[in-house]
């Protein structure tokens, strides 16, 4: 029984069956990669997990509880964090403030009226956010206006923000897209470290096979809305069906 159990999920957009009969089980403390051609429905599946979309059929259980019908923030409070394909950060806020918000969300829940306290006097939050920035190698950008960072930095910040919430399941939608090789390698290390040290389960969508094969313990290949195969990385690499549908000659 995995921490995340997806059963028979289907989703239709108008005339397009984006997902059908998706079954997926993500084991606790594993790194589970979801790969597949463009338009296979990977992001759609992710959206169904976090409450952005409601699947037409099937069920999604996280840690024994159904996530369906819950709002995104409720699902997040259950322990699922998500990194978006195009970075979603608080552009008007500084990097430090961006990092503090998830810390508050973790400590205080979905809503708390703390209108009089001084934000900076919340020692535990400030320390945690600073530590996280150091972990993300962004301490020097602390007071920067986050909207004016380059895209790679934005993505790193977003990952950091998700980690600061200490989620139990981290969902990443192409976290290294557009990242320089050096940073990609750093991110791989970081994610490895996360899954080893923080006991966070990771589900990752990625087209960069270098990243996928460096991280994943388990891979699901999605094609045209249904899982094609699910297997260990080595087997996937050799699978002719996968090669044809997805990997091409290069892998």
Ligand X SMILES: Nc1ncnc2c1ncn2[C@@H]1O[C@H](COP(=O)(O)OP(=O)(O)OP(=O)(O)O)[C@@H](O)[C@H]1O
The footprint of Mg ion (CB under 5 A) covers 43
Kindly give, in sequence order, each residue whose CB lies less than 8 Å from that of residue 134, ignoring residues fewer than 6 positions away: none
Within residues 199-238, the interface with ligand X by CB under 6 A covers: none
**In angstroms, how far is CA 55 from the centroid of its own chain?**
19
| Options 64, 69, 240, 248; binder of other proteins; rule CB under 8 A | 248
Residue 163 in contact with residue 99, Cβ under 8 Å?
A: no
For residues 3 to 32, the per-residue mask of contacts with other proteins, x marking binding by CB under 8 A and - elsewhere, is: ----------x--x----------------
123-135 helix and 151-164 helix, angle to the nearest 10 degrees: 130
Q: Name which position in 13, 66, 112, 193 contacts ligand X (CB under 6 A).
A: 13
| Chain centroid to CA 180 | 19
Residue among 27, 37, 53, 230 that touches other proteins (CB under 8 A) = 37
Instruction: Considering only residues 103 through 162, tell me which ones interact with ligand X, judged by CB under 6 A.
Output: 148-152
Query: Residue 62: which of other proteins, ligand X, Mg ion, none does it interact with, CB under 5 to 8 A by kind?
Result: none
**Is residue 162 a contact partner of residue 82, using CB atoms and an 8 Å limit?**
yes
Contact pick of 54, 59, 65, 151 for other proteins (by CB under 8 A): 151
- Could you tell me the smallest distance in angstroms from the CB atom of residue 51 to ligand X? 15
- 181 binding other proteins? (CB under 8 A): yes
Q: Which of 165, 150, 145 is nearest to 96 (CA)?
A: 145
Q: Is 80 or 149 the residue whose CB approaches ligand X more closely?
A: 149
Using CB under 8 A as the binding rule, whether residue 72 contacts other proteins is answered as yes
Nearest Cα residue to 162 out of 201, 216, 188? 201
DSSP class of 243: I
Residues of this chain, 84-113, that bind other proteins according to CB under 8 A: 84-86, 88-93, 97, 100-102, 104-106, 108-113
- Site for ligand X, residues 28 to 57, rule: CB under 6 A: 36, 38-44
Q: Provide the Cα torsion 19, 24, 29, 35; round to 10°.
A: -50
Please report how close the Cβ of residue 78 comes to ligand X at its closest, in angstroms: 22
The residue with its CB nearest to Mg ion is 43
User: In angstroms, rounded to a whole number, what is the distance separating the alpha carbons of residues 52 and 125?
Assistant: 28
Reference 156, options 177, 125, 127; nearest CA is 177
Retrieve residue 6's tokens: 């997806």
For other proteins, the binding residues in 155-174 under the rule CB under 8 A are: 161, 165, 174
Q: Strand pairing of 16-26 and 4-13?
A: antiparallel
List interacting residues with ligand X (CB under 6 A).
Answer: 13, 16, 18, 36, 38-44, 148-152, 178
């Amino acid at each position: 029984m995995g921490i995340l159990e997806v059963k028979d999920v289907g989703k239709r957009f108008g005339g397009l069956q984006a997902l059908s009969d998706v079954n997926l089980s993500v084991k606790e403390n594993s790194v589970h990669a979801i790969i597949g051609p463009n338009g296979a429905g990977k992001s759609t599946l992710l959206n169904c997990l976090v409450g952005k979309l409601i699947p037409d059929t099937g069920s999604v259980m996280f840690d024994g509880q159904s996530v369906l019908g819950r709002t995104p923030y409720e699902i997040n409070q259950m322990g699922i964090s998500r990194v978006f394909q195009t970075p979603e950060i608080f552009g008007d806020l500084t990097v430090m403030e961006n990092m503090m918000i998830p810390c508050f969300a973790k400590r205080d829940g979905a809503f708390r009226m703390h209108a009089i306290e001084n934000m900076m006097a919340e020692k535990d939050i400030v320390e945690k956010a600073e530590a996280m920035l150091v972990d993300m190698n962004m301490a020097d950008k602390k007071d920067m206006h986050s909207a004016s960072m380059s895209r790679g930095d934005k993505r790193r910040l977003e990952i950091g923000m998700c980690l600061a919430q200490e989620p139990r399941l981290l969902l990443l939608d192409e976290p290294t897209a557009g990242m320089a090789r050096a940073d990609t390698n750093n991110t791989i290390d970081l994610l490895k470290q996360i899954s080893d040290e923080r006991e966070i389960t990771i589900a990752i969508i990625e087209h960069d096979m270098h990243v996928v094969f460096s991280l994943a313990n388990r891979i699901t290949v999605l094609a045209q809305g249904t899982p094609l195969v699910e297997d260990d990385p080595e087997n996937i690499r050799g699978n002719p069906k996968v090669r044809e549908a997805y990997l091409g000659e290069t892998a």
